Structure 1
Amino acid sequence: MPRRTLDSLVTQVASELMGVDATTLVAATERVLASLIEHFDVDFCYLRRTDRERRATILVAEWPPRQAVPDPDPLGIVYFDDPDPAFKAVEHATEPLIVRPGKAFTPYRDIARRTAGITDLTSAAVPLLSRGTPIGLLGFIKLGDREWSTRELNVLKAIASLFAQLQARVEAEERLRYIAMHDDLTGLANRRALLEYMEERLQPGNPGPVAAFFLDLDRLKALNDFLGHTAGDNFIRTLSTRLREHLDPADMIARLGGDEFVIVPAKPMEAVEAELEGTRLQQLIARRVTVGEESVSRAASVGVAVGIPGEATVADVLRRADHALLSAKSGGGNGVAVFTDAMRAQFELQDDVELNLRSAVSDGSLLLHYQPEVDLRTGRIVALEALVRWQHPTRGLLPPGAFVGVAEATNLAGELGRWVIRTACAQFAQWRQQGLASNVVIRINVSPVQLVSLDFVESIEDTLRSNGIDGSSVCLEITEHVVVQDLARTQLTLRGLKRMGVQIAIDDFGTGYSSLSHLKALPVDAVKIDRGFVQRLGVSTDDLAIVKSIVGLAGSFGLGVVGEGVETAVAARTLVGLGCYRAQGFLIARPLPPEAVETHLAAGRIPLDLELPRVSRTAKH
């Protein structure tokens, strides 16, 4: 073969491989192999890559393709330590290896014997090198004998170098693509990969319906806050492995961050079947996980939605699944909900609220109910929490959950919050004038918007002065996520409030936003344990451990502690046993209109029959 032909062959191969990526690698390699067979007058050619972790050689491409290849292909993956030493000699080879008739690699000699009845072969194996380390193999088979010249082998080494460069580039591109498409904590698909997958699944003509499961772990962050900083991450990793092991390998499992997952099964699924699958997923997640020396579990809420390819968009399906998840969580979590027309109506309600809420602040349709907080040992009323309601013109009395979120999203939270503070303080002052609530604190929830407004402290001072109320009789409640949104501004505001004697409580404590450093940095008087933990006391040992940790944490900082959502005597007795004596919840009293609250205030206490030990009833608060 003339030198010019050999030299031009290297140039031709380099040109062929220049624009190749992972998606075109096999097809481009087959074209090159076909060209090499023609140039070198051989009968079979192949390219393999080396997997160092598995100590195996893996087939990339071959030419011509073998006929009737069994499944699995015995030549697809060949381990170097297999009993058949077909590729053993080339595992560490750095120079071409030529084997003349009678000694060719066993697998390809067997192929030749079966297809052509020939046992005499010549084989050439040229290693692909990266920094002197073999990473693959370019191989040739000739039926019969063939000599390879030094010049030919040098050309093959140059071509093998081109393949080595291509392999390194493709692997680097694949690593980058993997990073771009996967969650770094779990290795699961990320949001970008999920959207691409669903976009393809929802194309017209594809099998459907396509089901999507939106999963949210209930109060997972509490593990991280109260059982160690790495506990949450370890739980997530273990759970991700469990999902991979128990779902179809073709299913899309994506982590969107934090404790949120989306699963899209590969097979079509109607709503009824999807709901059953959602329950199975929930049960799978609920199995206990070992985190350090603890065995813990977290419940999950699952939102389910289905979409028809060609009719629903990715945004449609995910939005419906998210709405269903909100519905599943609305009952305290640990639920499964399928998106329905009723949910659609619920979110239409939100649109209605957004349109009419602004006028509600000024037209007198807002009102306040008050929920008593008592000392569980005596039933004595120690505080009242003001809770806003809206008498909607067509939808009746709406609870705060139906419109407060909309207010915060539409810049009405400040105006709504000011109305609540003015109205609650005016009512409280009236009770004081009647000789009621003399030893009671009024608790008022404060939105993030109010807390960071520049005139908030001044407006509170004006309200207290105009109603003749001392600051120590008022406790403003802020949620944990407010604390971390703008810590510096929060500190400034709370210090201004403390100068007036106003008390501060962190509401919904334990839901996963605050930390010890925040409690140290803020002038806080009390924490209110999130109702989700309290409601499961007597049922969940995990929640018991978390509540115990919160009570201990509050005690170490000299803070008061209040249990929210007390609905059972077991929960109340458990709180008392842990040293948390103040509580509110349906077991004690529901939120009541002012005239109903006055009856309790006149009595000064709400009778409770909790069968507490005598020592608990007489212990000092």
Structure 2
Amino acid sequence: RFHPAGATVAAAAHRLVLAAGGSEFGTVSLHVDDEVSFATWLPLLPTLGAVLEQLLQRPALARQLDECGQQLRNSEQRFRDLFDHLPDPCWLIERGHFTDCNRAAVALLGYAHREDILQHPSRLSPQRQPDGRLSFDKAEEMMQTALREGVHRFEWEHQRADGSCFPAEVTLARIRIEGHDALYCVWRDITQRKRVEQQAYDLAFFDPLTHLPNRRLLHDRLEQAMANSVRSGCHGALAYLDLDHFKVLNDTRGHDVGDRLLAQVALRLRDVVRGSDTVARMGGDEFVVLIQPLDENAEIAATQAHRIGEQILAVLAAACDVESMPWHGSASIGIALFHGHGLPAREVLKRADLAMYQAKAAGRNALRFFDPSIQVRVAARAQLEADLRLALAGRQLTLQYQPQVDACGHCIGVEALLRWQHPQRGAVAPIEFITLAEETGLITSIGQWVLGEACRVLDGWTRQPAFARLQLAVNVSARQFYQGNFVASVSELLRTHDIEPSRLRLELTESMLLGNLDHAIDTMRELKDIGVRFSLDDFGTGYSSLNYVKRLPIDQIKIDQSFVRDIHTDANDAAICRAVIAMGRSLGLSTVAEGVETAQQWEFLAGEGCDAAQGYLYAPPLALDAFADWLREHG
């Protein structure tokens, strides 16, 4: 720093510049105090210029500048090499314009030259993105977001030179170039990732065989339809359909053929419904059609749904070509209307399912709408099932005994009949709970209890002379009879109670035996070998074929009460009873007529040679103590 004035300043400055110029590197710093006028410095400027020119011409400084330039060129080349050899496509965006891109971008987009991309960036995207927005508008928004936040990642659909499109994941990062903000863009082809995501989505929400929505996706769409119904005020409908006799096709022609039929059914359903409707497969041979929107008026909406249901029945009734053979099928359809969120989605589905079963009960190839009374019956059935499960443990089940009387009026046997005394409902009719027990599988446990109770009673009767000669008949269900341990369980009960096996008579029906006749005969023979007797119950109500009756190791035939009831007013019933008695006699089998209520009925039966009668003519089913009193009175 120099603080003199005038020429002295100039001389001092001159000496300083010369001194600096005498070394290989030098820096000159001049500071002018406020009191030194500009006029004082003016004569010095030419001298300073000359000295600086000499400095620039010195070799050392030139080398330095050249090295700096080379370093800049090397740095730029490294950047270019790194930029061009990145495996992911990338480019630079400055002030909204594409100013550079790498080789990967050129190659993956299918262009020949870099300039093709830089000069026509609008070709790199379709007009609209998958979300429906214009590509130009969305690109502007994405760039502004990246400039504001520093980094922004999003998905984008790119377009190749050949016009094909593919999904990409794009990352925009803000950088500084020559003093201004720019964007460094890197993107990656995510076609494979999208394919895997779609496969996972399809597995979660679509049926792999028919490619229809599955139960989960249907439930979601039903919820959406119900929400739409709230806004629009329109009704919707759910049609639940089940293919009739599909099991026959599966069992006779194999599951591959069944699968081909299901695929054809799916195609036909998609073709017959409207674009706004949804066809879904629930599993097996069950499909659901979500029909919406329908009219605001419930009656009109039901008519519209019925029309679509009829169209479905018609298209499914047409022959299907499976395995080069025509298959004439049909379907049963149940329809439930819905309006808004008045019911949960699962309740609507359940109602349609119940209506479908009503269509099946009506003879199949039919359509039924949900009847609220069905729900009442279903709820009552569910409660009855729950009560029945408690009945066995709570000792609400009992046996009553109805005598079987021969032509001389002597009691030769007894049938044990199951009864249920409900604590609130009182006596429940057997037809109500026995059918329910068979459907739910409870009949197996109940049947085992009945057998055990019958054996216990027989054990007690052994020590009473008046009862010791009686046979006790017990009804056996198909589920119980076909259990693998049935023979062993009966044998164990007989041993436990030390009962003469011939005093136990098992009653079987025709229908339960025909399901697996050979198995039934084998089981019966095993028990027959140890002395157990058999009756064929309800004879005449099934096939009543002599071909199988003669093969069965039975001891007795029971004539069903439906033939006995009108024996004097219906000639056919009289002829059937006469034929059954004659057949029994010819095969060496005893005959027992059920439901005998009048002396006239028994007179006819006895005259034809019937061995015994059971019915209200002699006694109704009686409690154990009441039967003992009856036996003492009638002998």
TM-score by structure 2 length?
0.43
Between 1 and 2, higher relative CO (CA 8 Å, sep ≥ 6) is seen in: 1
User: Comparing both structures, which one devotes a greater share of its residues to helix?
Assistant: 2
